Amino acid sequence: MPTSRQVRGKEGLMTKKERYTFVIDWFQKNMPDAETELHYTDPYELLVAVILSAQCTDKRVNMVTPTLFQKFPSPESLATAKFEDVEPLIRSVTFANNKTRHLIGMAKMLMEQFHGEVPDNMEDLVKLPGVGRKTANVIVSVVFHQPGMAVDTHVFRVAARIGLTTNAKTPLQTEQQLVANIPKDLLAIAHHWLILHGRYICAARRPKCEECGLRPACKFYHSDMRYIAAANLEEE
């Protein structure tokens, strides 16, 4: 009697290399122009938007940034802003209090240590208040077109489900495995591929596997985990 895994096809038994090749080919064909959904016009605005987007949706961030950028169009203007001038503008975003402090602190440091310019390297970027490795990676890859893989909750989950990562326990481990297997010139766009796929198809609670073009390569789809997850959801 064949096992359920065998019944679901040999595609589920792809090697990691084959899986990466399939996934990259699929995204190149189906999402050739993937990019961030945050609205921005310069590196400063993207940095502000990415700080605001931590544990918040891009849609929500895009609702507050037009007024914020109008009132504080540069690091110089934001560096001298008062908490009470900024917080009301971003109140609908998660963790508005902390993010207000981070934004003002970030702008101050840009003025005091970086001549008002957004740094182009990870080492300096992570010194800025509110900027962790993920945010810094977004800036270096999107603004400065350097190879970088920012790992957020979508990238972490989708990479693990597909089987692009193995036993990655932290965002850094996910980043390291993806960087080791994705060609350097595709790292920046691969970050957007995985985020958008996680946002619209491979959702955390209910992945839309039946609509997903990555099924032939997806480890999760070809494993019993999928059925266990579905059963758990039905019980809720």
Per CB under 6 A, residues contacting ligand SF4 are 161-162, 201-202, 207-209, 212, 214-215, 218, 220-221
C-beta closer to ligand SF4: residue 48 or 195: 195
C-beta closer to ligand SF4: residue 149 or 202: 202
Least distance in angstroms from the C-beta of 58 to ligand SF4: 20
Least distance in angstroms from the C-beta of 210 to ligand SF4: 8
Q: Are 38 and 58 in contact (CB under 8 A)?
A: yes
Least distance in angstroms from the C-beta of 231 to ligand SF4: 15
Q: Which residues are tagged catalytic?
A: 134, 152
The CA distance from 35 to 170, in Å, is: 24
The CA distance from 12 to 156, in Å, is: 20
Token pair for 164? 């692009």
Least distance in angstroms from the C-beta of 4 to ligand SF4: 16
Under 8 Å CB-to-CB from 165, ≥6 apart: which residues? 159, 173, 174, 177, 178
Helical spans, DSSP H, in 114-220? 122-125, 133-138, 153-162, 171-181, 187-200
- DSSP summary character for residue 19: H
C-beta closer to ligand SF4: residue 104 or 162: 162
